[in-house]
């Protein structure tokens, strides 16, 4: 629980004819984290011959799945060979349908653009043949930005035929003039923002419309065929993709192995507890034809956190930050204890706690993965909120107990003192864990210099401070001062000037815990203001009662949202910055056993 799962590095050597069997078994065991072979003495293996075929199929499958936008739960297929025929059939049909659809779509867009250029002229009562077949006459047909009148044209020539109308808010014109006036008219029209519309001779709007209609009918029939293919075979496609992916993993596994002409070496990590079991299983499977080594080396072991189910959700906070190193303690359990306490201390309201608890229990059923972990951890935090709500005697900002154990809106100094004390304890704890971590990694001397020095500085500072406040004897001053001095000397030896520069941080870190009560104070003040506001309205009676209820609902809703974000972030920050900063390095790589799905 406090340590991450202990790992063993194992190396399996065997003849190549056993390789496939072994890969299959490792894949179904889901216990071994494979290490890529990076050495130079041997070659890395090649994937099995079928791999190419399988990955080709996977590419096709994935493009179909993403096209169909399938979001189904995959099921296990026992016999993949049976699926081959069915898959090629479906894929062929899919390709045919797609081909048809793309041809028809192109046709449709062509027809549409034709339609768009000829349709406006239907409002002029001219058909397409009227525009063609002239030798000495030039035709201008199209749209102009501002209306053109015959008067303007008459200034250039009297020989013309002019049609104009408005179609869908655009000015449509058709102008027939002798060729000789072509340039002048062109200039005139360009002033009016003329835009030519082109179409072919003999294009008939009715015919285009009927063609468009038939294309659309065909298109919708193909689309519905494609849709029924999706409905009918979607599940199969998803299943096949899932199973082929697993198959592919197995086929490509040798890429991680070192091989010789006739033998292979598999290198990887397994949980220490399981090493023996795996060894037995593999030996039985290969009739004792493999050589199984357990190495002493623990460097770079992957990280699998090992926590009881109550604590597990809090692994979220470590995933978010950085996984612990193999030699570090896993602080999840500590976060499990202090995170809800801090959160509850800040929000501390029975009413808010119950609302958030119900909301998170509802949400938990809807989510999976990381988000589910987060919500589960917040459920614990909500319970703590209710607990502190009783201590503070608050529900929705109302003080439902006359003399609560602690009145946080009034006993500011007590609250501040508690916060700082919690901070001192938390930070001290951080240094103690840090001491242990350094002790394990680098030995006693380093631990005393790096972390012990801080502990001394902290203790010495506290002694001096308490003497200053209580002021009874000078013993504390002398002992504290000595301790402080010794601590600083050791720190300087351990961390150099950098350590000295960091000295004031211990004060700011401790004071930082004042947020524990500050955030809560803001939240409770806001709640009180909402309540007072609502009461004011309520006393006016009549319609104001409705307004008062609305204020209560909306106000507390907003305050709960703020009350979730604030305490969450601040509690997280206290852990990440003030607490983890004392001992946590992180940077571990996750344990991803062969055969486990990545998402």
Residues found near another protein in the complex (CB under 8 A)? 320-322, 412-413, 416, 508, 511-512, 514-515, 518, 569-570, 572-573, 576-577
- Supply the DSSP string of 68-105, one letter for each residue: HT--------S-STTHHHHHHHHHHHHHHHHHHHHHHH
Which secondary structure element, helix H or strand E, spans residue 320, and what is its range? helix 315-321
Contact 140, 175 (CB under 8 A): yes
Q: How far is the CB of 322 from another protein (least distance, A)?
A: 7
Alpha-carbon gap, residue 464 to 481, rounded angstroms: 7
Q: Which DSSP letter does residue 181 get?
A: G
Q: Which is nearer to another protein, 453 or 509 (CB)?
A: 509
Q: What DSSP state is assigned to residue 5?
A: P
Closest CA to 122 of 171, 177, 169, 167: 167
Residue 482: CB atoms within 10 Å: 13
CB of 566 to another protein, least distance (A): 10
Choice between 505 and 549, CB closer to another protein:
505
Q: In angstroms, give the least distance from the CB of 522 to another protein.
A: 9
For residue 428, the surrounding DSSP H or E stretch is: helix 412-442
Nearer to another protein, 412 or 549 (CB): 412
Choose between 256 and 573: whose C-beta lies nearer to another protein: 573
Nearer CB in complex with another protein: 197/518:
518
Residue closer to another protein (CB basis): 125 or 508: 508
**Shortest CB 513 distance to another protein, Å:** 9
- Comparison of 423 and 452: residue with beta carbon closer to another protein: 423
Smallest distance from another protein to CB 107, Å: 42
Nearer CB in complex with another protein: 187/511: 511
Question: Shortest gap between Cβ of 415 and another protein (angstroms)?
Answer: 10
Minimum Å distance from CB 509 to another protein? 8
What is the closest distance, in whole angstroms, from the C-beta atom of residue 571 to another protein in the complex?
11
Minimum CB distance to another protein smaller for 301 or for 574: 574
Residue 291: CB minimum distance to another protein, A: 39
47 with 213: CB under 8 angstroms?
no
> Which stretches of 133-204 are DSSP H helices?
150-154, 182-191
H helices within 6-138, ranges in order? 19-29, 51-68, 83-118
Helix (H, G, I), strand (E, B) or coil at 164: strand
537 with 547: CB under 8 angstroms?
yes
Separation between Cα atoms, residue 535 and residue 545, nearest integer Å: 9
Our CB check for another protein shows the closer of 96 and 370 to be: 370
Smaller CB separation from another protein, 153 or 375: 375
Nearest distance in Å: CB 503, another protein: 16
Q: Which is nearer to another protein, 285 or 409 (CB)?
A: 409
Q: How many CB atoms lie within 10 A of CB 242?
A: 18
Q: How far is the CB of 584 from another protein (least distance, A)?
A: 12
Measured from the CB atom, the residue of 310 and 577 that comes closer to another protein is: 577
Residues 530, 553: Cα–Cα separation, whole Å: 9
List all residues 6 or more positions away from 431 whose beta carbon is below 8 Å from its beta carbon: 451, 454, 455, 458, 582, 583
257 vs 316, beta carbon nearer another protein: 316
Which residue's structure tokens are 């154990």?
Answer: 405
What is the closest distance, in whole angstroms, from the C-beta atom of residue 4 to another protein in the complex? 18
Question: 138 by DSSP, 3-state: which?
Answer: strand
Q: Could you say which DSSP state residue 577 is in?
A: I
Closest CB to another protein among 405 and 507? 507
Token pair for 559: 């305050």
412 token code pair: 């500011």
Q: How far is the CB of 436 from another protein (least distance, A)?
A: 23
Task: Report the sign of the C-alpha dihedral through residues 448, 451, 457, 460, in that order.
Answer: negative
Residue 519 to residue 130: CA distance in whole angstroms: 81
Q: Give CA–CA dist 561/154, Å, rounded.
A: 73
CB 221: neighbour CB atoms within 10 A? 12
Cβ pair 14, 576 in contact under 8 A: no
Give the β-pairing of 170-178 and 137-144: antiparallel
Residues 6 or more apart in contact with residue 172 via CB below 8 angstroms: 120, 121, 123, 124, 142, 143, 164, 165, 166
Least distance in Å: CB of 316 to another protein? 10
Least Å distance, CB 340 to another protein, is: 19
Return the ∠ at Cα 299 (arms to 298 and 302), rounded to 5°: 85
In this structure, the dihedral spanned by the alpha carbons of residues 319, 325, 331 and 335, taken in order and rounded to 10 degrees, is -20
């Amino acid at each position: 629980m406090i340590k991450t799962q202990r790992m063993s590095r194992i190396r399996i050597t065997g003849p190549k004819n056993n390789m496939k069997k072994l890969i299959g078994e490792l894949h179904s065991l889901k216990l071994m984290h494979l290490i890529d072979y990076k050495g130079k003495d041997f070659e890395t293996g090649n994937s099995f011959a079928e791999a190419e075929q399988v990955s080709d199929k996977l590419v096709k499958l994935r493009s179909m799945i993403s096209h169909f936008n399938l979001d189904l739960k995959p099921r296990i297929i026992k016999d993949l060979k049976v699926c081959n025929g069915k898959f090629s059939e479906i894929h062929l049909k899919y390709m045919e349908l797609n081909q048809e659809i793309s041809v028809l779509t192109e046709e449709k867009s062509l027809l549409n653009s034709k339609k768009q250029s000829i349709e406006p002229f239907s409002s002029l009562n001219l058909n397409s043949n009227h525009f063609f077949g002239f030798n000495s006459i030039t035709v201008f047909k199209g749209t102009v930005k501002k209306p053109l009148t015959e008067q303007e044209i008459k200034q250039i020539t009297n020989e013309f035929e002019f049609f104009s109308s408005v179609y869908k808010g655009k000015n449509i014109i058709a102008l027939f003039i002798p060729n000789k006036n072509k340039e002048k008219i062109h200039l005139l029209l360009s002033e009016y923002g003329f835009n030519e519309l082109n179409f072919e001779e003999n294009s008939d709007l009715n015919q285009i419309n009927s063609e468009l209609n038939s294309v659309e009918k065909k298109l919708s029939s193909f689309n519905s065929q494609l849709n029924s293919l999706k409905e009918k075979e979607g599940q199969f496609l998803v299943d096949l993709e899932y199973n082929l992916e697993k198959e592919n993993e197995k086929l490509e596994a040798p890429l991680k192995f070192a091989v010789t002409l006739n033998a292979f070496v598999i290198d990887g990590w397994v949980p220490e507890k399981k090493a023996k079991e795996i060894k037995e299983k593999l030996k039985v499977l290969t009739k004792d034809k493999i050589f199984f080594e357990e190495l002493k080396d623990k460097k770079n072991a992957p990280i699998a956190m090992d926590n009881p189910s109550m604590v597990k959700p809090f692994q979220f906070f470590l995933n978010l930050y950085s996984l612990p190193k193999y030699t570090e303690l896993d602080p999840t359990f500590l976060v499990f204890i202090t995170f809800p306490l801090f959160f509850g201390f800040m929000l501390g309201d029975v009413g808010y706690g119950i609302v958030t608890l119900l909301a998170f229990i509802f949400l938990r059923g809807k989510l999976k993965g990381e988000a589910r972990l987060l919500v589960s951890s917040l459920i614990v935090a909500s319970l703590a909120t209710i607990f502190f709500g009783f201590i503070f005697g608050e529900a929705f900002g109302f003080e439902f107990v006359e003399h609560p154990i602690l009145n946080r809106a009034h006993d500011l100094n007590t609250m501040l003192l508690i916060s700082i004390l919690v901070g001192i304890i938390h930070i001290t704890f951080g240094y103690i864990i840090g001491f242990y971590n350094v002790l394990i990694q680098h030995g006693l001397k380093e631990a005393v210099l790096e972390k012990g020095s801080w502990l001394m500085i902290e203790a010495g500072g506290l002694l001096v401070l308490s003497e200053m406040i209580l002021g009874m004897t000078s013993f504390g001053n002398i002992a504290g001062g000595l301790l402080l001095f010794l601590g600083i000397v050791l720190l300087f030896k351990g961390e150099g000037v950098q350590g000295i520069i960091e000295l004031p941080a211990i004060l700011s870190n401790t004071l930082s815990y004042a947020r524990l009560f500050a955030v809560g104070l803001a939240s409770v003040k806001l709640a009180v203001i909402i309540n007072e506001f609502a009461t004011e309205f309520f006393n006016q009676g009549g319609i104001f009662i409705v307004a008062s209820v609305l204020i209560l609902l909306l106000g507390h809703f907003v305050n709960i949202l703020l009350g979730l974000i604030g305490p969450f972030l601040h509690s997280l920050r206290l852990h990440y910055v003030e607490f983890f900063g004392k001992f946590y390095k992180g940077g571990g790589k996750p344990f991803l056993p062969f055969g486990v799905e990545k998402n």
